[in-house]
Amino acid sequence: MQISGDDLTTFLEDYRWLCGVLMEEELFFRRENRYRLSTFAEAERTVYADRVFMTRYMNGLLMTQLWWANHSSVLRYYRDSFLPGNKQQCRHLEIGPGHGLFLYLAASAPNAGAIAGWDVSPASIAITRSAMNAMGATRPFDLSLVNMFEAPGGQFDSLTFSEVLEHLENPAQALAAIANLLAPSGRAFIQAPVNSPAPDHISLFRSPEEIVELVRESGLVVEDTLFAPPAGVTLERAREMALTISTVVVASKSG
């Protein structure tokens, strides 16, 4: 409510619009057994660089944090399990903060130190900034237009990477970059969905285990996992029907 302010109707309309966009992608996925896009350049041109599309997308995605059971359990896990495990004054980075909810929770945690967010989309950066201000983030935060593959470097104790891996052409390279950005004993919250067609999804993961294995192969130590099915189905049923399963992997860099 704080983020939407007087404009709740717009957010609700954007959520409805997003459901229509996702339905088109779902139909394509069911017919073709693949995601429609295969290159980052296409996603950048048709989604990230399109301010209006991106704003509606992030507004809709914000509402899914409340209404989609898989997203709300991920957010709850992030707030109640991941963030409290960070050390005091931890240096935190989020790559792809989008609607800003995860970044706001990280900045509000009592153990937070410096807070940074990187995103490749100028529209996303503007949305994150306005959400952080609307929610009344008190700690200073630094938002920068950065493609994670051209990252300026840095060392972080805590890193959030939620719903970005499936947007990339080379997820293994992204996980290697994350491992490099983590300080010794640093922790990463990596979240990506399986079987989740969307207008900017490129890498198709077919099982949660595939994502866990990729994280392991990056050299990080897997500390915990959460596999969250959508509303109304069990994890087993979601697997059988190739439905979306939000997959969280908490991984650390050996100290």
Ligand X SMILES: C[S@@+](CC[C@H](N)C(=O)[O-])C[C@H]1O[C@@H](n2cnc3c(N)ncnc32)[C@H](O)[C@@H]1O
Q: Which of 59, 158, 162, 246 binds ligand X (CB under 6 A)?
A: 162
| Part of the chain binding ligand X (CB under 6 A), chosen from 143-151, 178-186, 228-236, 244-252 | 143-151
Which amino acid would we find at residue 234?
Answer: T
Shorter beta-carbon distance to ligand X: residue 76 or 237: 76
| Part of the chain binding ligand X (CB under 6 A), chosen from 19-27, 93-101, 220-228, 242-250 | 93-101
Applying CB under 6 A, does 124 fall inside the site for ligand X?
yes
Burial call 108-144: b when 16+ CB within 10 Å, e when fewer: bbebbbbbbbbbbbebbbbbbbebbeebebeeebebe
Applying CB under 6 A, does 14 fall inside the site for ligand X?
no
Of the candidates 190, 191, 194, 170, which has an alpha carbon nearest to the alpha carbon of residue 251? 190
Shorter beta-carbon distance to ligand X: residue 121 or 195: 121
Q: Which of 60, 98, 193, 229 binds ligand X (CB under 6 A)?
A: 98
* Residues 63, 66, 67, 73, CA torsion sign: positive
Q: Which of 14, 25, 119, 157 binds ligand X (CB under 6 A)?
A: 119
Query: CB–CB of 214/178 below 8 Å?
Result: no
| Distance in angstroms (rounded) separating the CA atoms of residues 69 and 75 | 10
| Part of the chain binding ligand X (CB under 6 A), chosen from 10-18, 97-105, 136-144, 208-216 | 97-105
Q: Smallest distance, Å, CB 185 to ligand X? A: 24
